């Protein structure tokens, strides 16, 4: 009996060890090393690291700028998650209903996701600050006559729009696979029972799509919380630091202000916030899943 | 269990052989091409020129120099510390003075005995009487003017050297407006331009030592009641009043500004000699009448800041003393000597990179009007700067944001002064 158990462990280790090895190398070790750095006043350069206890955490808790950018990020995440998933869901629904040219539309909507965030940010920066302004000036369309990136409110929405534009195609694909694997029999049965339109979507399709919704929400949450590339190239935190999302704040703290320990402590807070929200989201989402 | 252990062993063997394989390949290449070194470039606009220079250097010496670039939006300091921490330190790194002060102790090689030290004189960056970095180039900044556009608009030849106070600058702007150039100024929105360069005149024009300035700033500065701070903001106010992008000051696009100045739509742009590549791309001709006015501080026409322009060594190159081999360090020194002394190096430095050498032995004539103007002013002792002063690393970003607020009309002069005081208060 014991021998058999040992065999199991051996087999398990054999399959898991390569993965575990790399997981440890790129995730676990850096994570714990990073945690260790939060307890020091390292500036990223010198060899000696003085132990400072929990003072970096206390500084972080008392840093209003960090919490402001955390709040801004939460606002950004809420909008991105809502818009990406609603639009992705609707697109997925429309593009599985035999619409003419649906394959063309599918690849069209997916394409932005293939462009890296850095390039995407530059493209949209040019559009917002040059192209839209030129269109606004020639057409007299008031809200486009000045660059959206030059005032805090519109710059925030520019960030949301570009992120949604980038992510929606990816989520649409996941929703499409959800829709296509949905049992036709259940839908037919619902129709025979008289469910139509919104009622059918709300009470039949949506519960059956819950696994896709959970995955998509999780992916969008995680991507939106950690966004840095678009933030950097589209607004660069501007105008006057009004769109510094939390990842950028962490980066600036560690590398521009050269306070590595504090930056790392802020990153731990960010990790906790994302972890807690993700766990809650997955748990509540899972509990609503039904089987056909 | 043995099986598992042997598996891990095999895996690690595979891993080491893969990495070792990489190294072997490199070292076998080394013997063919001489020593291979790397150079971290933090001046994006000369990346191509530097690559060409590295090619020319290789053709002459068989040493290979790989030019590493700092990507868009990447901070040189971040890049260099990442490279050091990952064990891939560049043999030569081009950095700003503030970075050198942070890094020299841990990483930089002492270059005091290099031959070029005598050529660069006081331009070298020395700390505790040791030279740690080669001053890569001299750059100047002020208010760039398009003389042809001004003369054409006013229908007369304006003697630009007669503009030597805020009052006279304001009068010229007014006259341009009256003659049809309604908004003659391009005011860039970039935080580094506003926070480091425009606000920087306050520090550059300081008349005592850098140490004293540091003390004064940290001792509780009262910008609101400071004469020079107010003079600086007076000039900024003129820029704001005559700003081409007056409707949307933070929508001012840098490249568009270069084009507007090049084609004479605007006549002034507070910027530096590094703007030439952008202006040339925007259509500016090297034969045209471009030059620098000082960034005016008040109305005293005998005040040096109103007659001279700021010019100083601006990028410094350190040689890695921590990770590079002796051979690589020697090759790096040789590359610097090649830049300073070889005919090709001197010629390419001026004509390919369009830079002003900090070494006085480089007599190759400048090819663009902005550099020509600075070289002329340097020769006539018409430049100034405060040696040894480096603002904290986040100064450009924090004060840049405060300046953007002011330019956009979101904050007033008192609030800007308060941000200034607060920033320095935090730097204890």
What tokens does B69 get? 């670039």
Alpha helix (H) ranges present in B37-112? Answer: 47-61, 76-85, 97-107
Q: How far apart are CA B357 and CA B339, in angstroms?
A: 9
Q: State if pTM tops 0.90.
A: no
Question: Cα–Cα–Cα angle for B372, B373, B376, nearest 5°?
Answer: 85
Residues of chain B with a CB closer than 8 angstroms to some CB in chain A:
1, 3-4, 7-8, 11, 72-73, 75, 77-78, 81, 84-85, 102-103, 105-107, 189, 191, 247-251, 253, 256, 393-394, 397-398, 401-402, 404-405, 408, 410
Neighbouring C-beta atoms of residue B93, cutoff 10 Å: 30
Q: For residue A261, what are its two tokens? A: 């320990």
- Of the residues B80, B85, B105, B251, the best mutation for testing chain A's interface (the one with the most A CB atoms within 10 Å of its CB) is B251
Average pLDDT of chain A, as a whole number: 87
Binary contact (A238, B250; C-beta < 8 A): yes
Give the whole-angstrom CA distance, residue B233 versus residue B242: 14
Whether the upstream peptide bond of residue A163 has omega within 30° of 0, thus cis, is no
Rg of chain B over Cα atoms, rounded to whole angstroms, equals 24
Judge whether A149 is closer than 8 Å to chain B, CB to CB: yes
The token pair at B365 is 């004539």
Which three-class secondary structure state does DSSP give residue B141? strand
At which residue do the structure tokens 């959206």 appear? A148
Q: Given this model, what pLDDT does residue B33 score?
A: 56
Residue A63: CA atoms inside 13 Å, Cβ hemisphere, count? 19
Domains of chain B plus CATH, in order, are 32-139+312-379 (3.40.190.10), 140-311+383-426 (3.40.190.10)
Whether A166 and chain B come into contact, CB under 8 Å, resolves to: no
Strand partners, B309: B383
- Per DSSP, A226 falls in state T
Count CB-CB contacts under 10 A for residue A69: 26
The partner residues of B317 in beta bridges, in order of sequence, read: B94, B134
Chain A CB contacts of B77 below 8 Å? 255, 258
Domain annotation for chain A: domains and CATH numbers: 66-287 (1.10.3720.10)
Enter the DSSP assignment of B199.
T
Name, in order, each residue with C-beta under 8 angstroms of B353's C-beta and a sequence gap of 6 or more.
B46, B49, B50, B53, B137
Dig out the tokens for B315 from the structure: 């990028």
pLDDT in tens, chain B (428 residues): 455 555 554 444 444 444 443 434 444 444 455 889 999 998 887 888 899 999 999 988 888 999 998 866 677 888 888 888 888 899 999 998 888 888 888 888 888 888 888 888 878 788 888 889 999 899 999 999 999 999 999 999 999 989 999 999 999 999 999 999 999 999 999 888 999 899 999 999 898 888 888 888 888 888 899 999 999 999 999 999 999 999 889 888 888 899 999 999 999 999 998 888 889 888 888 888 999 999 999 999 889 899 999 998 888 999 998 888 888 999 999 998 998 899 898 999 888 888 888 888 888 888 889 988 998 888 888 888 888 788 887 888 889 999 999 999 999 999 999 999 999 988 87
ipTM over 0.90: no
Q: Tokens 């630091």 belong to which residue?
A: A241
Q: How many CB atoms lie within 10 A of CB B31?
A: 8
How far apart CA B288 and CA B299 sit, in angstroms, is 29
């Amino acid at each position: 009996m014991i021998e058999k158990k040992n065999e199991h462990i051996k087999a398990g280790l054999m399959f898991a060890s390569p993965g575990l090895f790399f997981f440890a190398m790129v995730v676990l070790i850096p994570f714990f090393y990073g945690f260790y750095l939060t307890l020091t006043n390292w500036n990223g350069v010198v060899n000696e690291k003085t132990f400072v206890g929990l003072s970096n955490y206390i500084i972080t808790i008392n840093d209003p700028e960090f919490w402001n950018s955390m709040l801004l990020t939460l606002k950004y995440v809420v909008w991105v998650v809502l818009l990406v998933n609603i639009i992705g869901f609707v697109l997925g629904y429309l593009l599985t209903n035999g619409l003419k040219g649906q394959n063309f539309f599918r690849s069209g909507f997916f394409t932005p996701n293939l462009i890296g965030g850095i390039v995407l940010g530059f493209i949209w920066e040019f559009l917002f600050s040059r192209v839209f302004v030129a269109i606004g000036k020639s057409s007299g369309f008031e809200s486009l006559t000045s660059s959206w990136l030059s005032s805090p409110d519109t710059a925030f929405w520019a960030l949301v729009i570009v992120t949604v534009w980038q992510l929606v195609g990816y989520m649409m694909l996941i929703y499409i696979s959800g829709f296509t694997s949905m049992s036709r029999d259940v839908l037919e049965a619902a129709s025979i029972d008289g469910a139509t339109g919104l009622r059918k979507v709300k009470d039949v399709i949506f519960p059956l799509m819950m696994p896709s919704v959970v995955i998509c929400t999780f992916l969008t949450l995680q991507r939106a919380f950690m966004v840095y590339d678009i933030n950097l190239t589209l607004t660069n935190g501007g105008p006057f630091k009004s769109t510094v999302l939390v990842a950028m704040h962490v980066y600036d703290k560690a590398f521009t202000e050269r306070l590595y320990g504090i930056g790392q402590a802020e990153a731990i807070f960010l990790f906790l916030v994302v972890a807690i929200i993700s766990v809650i989201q997955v748990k509540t989402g899972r509990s609503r899943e039904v089987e056909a | 269990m043995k099986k598992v252990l042997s598996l891990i062993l095999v895996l690690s063997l595979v891993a080491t052989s893969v990495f070792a394989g990489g190294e072997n390949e490199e070292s076998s290449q080394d013997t063919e091409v001489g020593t291979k070194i790397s150079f971290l470039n933090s001046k994006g606009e000369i990346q191509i020129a530097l690559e060409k220079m590295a090619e020319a250097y290789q053709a002459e010496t068989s040493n290979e120099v790989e030019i590493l670039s700092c990507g868009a939006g990447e901070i040189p300091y971040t890049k260099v510390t990442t490279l050091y921490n990952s064990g891939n330190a560049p043999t030569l790194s081009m950095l700003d003075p503030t970075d050198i002060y942070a890094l020299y102790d841990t990483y930089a090689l002492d270059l005091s005995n290099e031959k070029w030290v005598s050529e660069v004189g006081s331009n070298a960056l020395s700390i505790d009487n040791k030279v740690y970095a080669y001053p890569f180039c001299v750059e100047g900044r002020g208010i760039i003017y398009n003389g042809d556009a001004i003369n054409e608009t006013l229908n007369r030849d304006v003697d630009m050297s007669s503009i030597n106070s805020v009052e006279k600058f304001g009068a010229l702007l007014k006259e341009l407006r009256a003659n049809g150039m309604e908004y003659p100024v391009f005011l860039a929105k970039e935080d580094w331009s506003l926070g480091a360069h425009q606000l920087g005149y306050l520090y550059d024009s300081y008349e005592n030592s850098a140490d004293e300035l540091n003390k004064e700033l940290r001792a509780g500065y009262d910008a609101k009641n400071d004469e020079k701070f107010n003079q600086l903001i007076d000039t900024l106010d003129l820029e704001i009043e005559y700003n081409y992008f007056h409707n949307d000051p933070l929508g001012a696009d840098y490249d568009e500004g270069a084009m507007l100045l090049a084609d004479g739509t605007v006549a002034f742009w507070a910027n530096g000699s590094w703007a030439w590549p952008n202006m040339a791309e925007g259509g500016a001709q090297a034969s045209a009448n471009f030059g620098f006015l000082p960034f005016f501080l008040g109305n005293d026409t005998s005040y040096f800041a109103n007659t001279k322009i700021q010019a100083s060594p601006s990028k410094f190159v350190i040689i890695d003393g921590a990770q590079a081999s002796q051979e690589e360090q020697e090759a790096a020194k040789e590359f610097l000597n090649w830049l300073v002394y070889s005919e090709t190096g001197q010629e390419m430095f001026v004509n390919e990179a369009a830079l002003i050498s900090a070494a006085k032995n480089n007599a190759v004539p400048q090819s663009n009007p902005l550099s020509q103007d600075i070289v002329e002013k340097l020769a006539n002792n018409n430049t100034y700067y405060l040696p040894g002063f480096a603002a904290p690393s986040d100064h450009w970003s924090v004060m840049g944001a405060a300046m953007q607020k002011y330019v956009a009309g979101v904050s007033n002069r008192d609030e800007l002064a308060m941000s200034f005081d607060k920033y320095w208060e935090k730097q204890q």
